[in-house]
Every structure is written in structure tokens, then in C-alpha cells.
Amino acid sequence: MATTLQANLRTDLTGSSTRQIRKDGHVPAILYGNKIDSQPVYVESVEFLKTVREVGKNGLFSLNVDGSKHQVMIHDMQIDPLKNEYLHVDFFEVDMKSEIDADVPVRLTGESPGSKEGGVVTHLLYDISVKCLPNDIPEEIELDISELNIGDSIQITDLRDKVSVEITNEDEETVVTVQPPTVIEESEDADAGESGDAEPEVVGEDDSNKEE
């Protein structure tokens, strides 16, 4: 059964009303699409969180607005970093027969042989942009790094034949690389200073001897 999230229309768009919506445990949102007019709505925050966990970042679900159902995906979310609360959500109604652009998260799997030798696995591209039908959007792209040695990398061009949808990133973009370990060389002066062999000079010692 397809996931359904209940939503209600917002008629009062003032700031005080929006704050009250959040205070009551709801998230203000907007529903829009190529074939519908924008509709201010709000959803229950706990149910929205459950929906996000169930369908994922790029998942499709049904948004029921006062009895009218719309096939949507989450286009954008605003989150309060201090309270970790949703401030606003953009719901985009999709045309199931038209291709759309989406960002798909990358998940690294396996252990790089280069990391065992002291190399540093550097994940540079956390999302890959794709273009495809809404139902074909991958939830994530798994990237096996178990054959990467020090100095090796995986670029977008290496993934085009491994991913079933069209990738819109540039070929030369690097997704992950294994960098050589960083060696910090200490100077001879620093070594000498740490040895503690030199005794500090006593200021004024010669002058006191002269007076005697």
C-alpha cells in the first residue's frame, strides 16, 4: 500500500499563525507542481517524520489535502539546527510520465586496502544528480571501495555503466579518493628546544658579582 500523508490547507499566512502551527506540533508547507496552483498546507510533524523515514529522501508518496490526493516527493526541507525541528517543507507534485532531476545520496561500502596502509579515504561527493522517471529514482547509490589503494579514486565516468539511470554530473567529478598519509616532519630546532640541555641565563648575575 502506498504511503499517504494527511495535510490541511492554510488560510491564514501571517507570521503569528505560522508560529502557532509549529507550536501545535505541525509543520507549515507548500504544495506545488507544473499542473497545479501553489497551495499553502500544513502536516502533523510526527507523521511527517514517519513518512520521511519510510520513503526516504527521494521517495514518492500520496499527500491527501482535504480529500484531494496528490502524488508528491519532498523537494526541500528547512530544519532548525539548534532544536532539530522542521520549519518548512516543499511538496512537489510529480508527473509520473515525465523525467525529473533528483539528487541521490552516495553510500560507501567495503574497506579500502589503501586505508589499511595508512591512506585516508576522502568522500568528496555525497550526492549524485540523476534524471529519470519518478518511479526510477534510486533511494541511494552504493559505491564499493574495497579495491581502492593509495592514490586511487572513483569518478563519475566510472559510474555511468553501473547506474541504471542517467547521471547529470560531469565525468571528471571525483566521488571518493584515497589520499596518502600525511607525514609531519619536526625541525631540528624544535628537537633541540625539547631536549632541555641548555640552562636559562640568569639576568643580572654579572652585575651583582661586580658590586661585591
What integer is the mean pLDDT of 118-122?
95
Q: Is 178 helix (H, G, I), strand (E, B) or coil?
A: strand
Q: Is the pLDDT of residue 199 over 70?
A: no
Tell me the C-alpha to C-alpha distance, in Å, between residue 11 and each of 14, 41, 207.
9, 8, 89
Provide the pLDDT confidence category of residue 145 given band limits of 50, 70 and 90.
very high
Model pLDDT for residues 11-39, shown as the tens digit of each residue: 999 999 999 999 999 999 999 998 899 99
d(C-alpha 109, C-alpha 117), whole Å:
18
Q: Is the pLDDT of residue 1 over 50?
A: no
Instruction: Give the three cell numbers for residue 117.
Output: 596502509
Residue 191 is predicted with a pLDDT of 54
Q: Is the pLDDT of residue 208 over 80?
A: no
- Give the angle 164-75-10 at the CA atoms, nearest 5°: 150
Tell me the C-alpha to C-alpha distance, in Å, between residue 48 and each of 4, 54, 204.
10, 10, 76
Terminal Cα-to-Cα distance of the chain (whole angstroms): 102
Q: Is-contact 40 10, C-beta < 8 A?
A: yes
Residues 6+ apart with CB under 8 A from 87: 22, 27, 28, 78, 79, 80
Q: Which residue has the cell 499542473?
A: 35
Provide the pLDDT confidence category of residue 212 given band limits of 50, 70 and 90.
very low
The fraction of the chain above a pLDDT of 70, given in percent, is 85
d(C-alpha 71, C-alpha 62), whole Å:
5
Q: Could you give the dihedral angle defined by the CA atoms of residues 99, 27, 87 and 24, in that order, rounded to the nearest 10 degrees?
A: 180
Model pLDDT for residues 96-113, shown as the tens digit of each residue: 999 999 999 999 999 999
What integer is the mean pLDDT of 35-51?
95
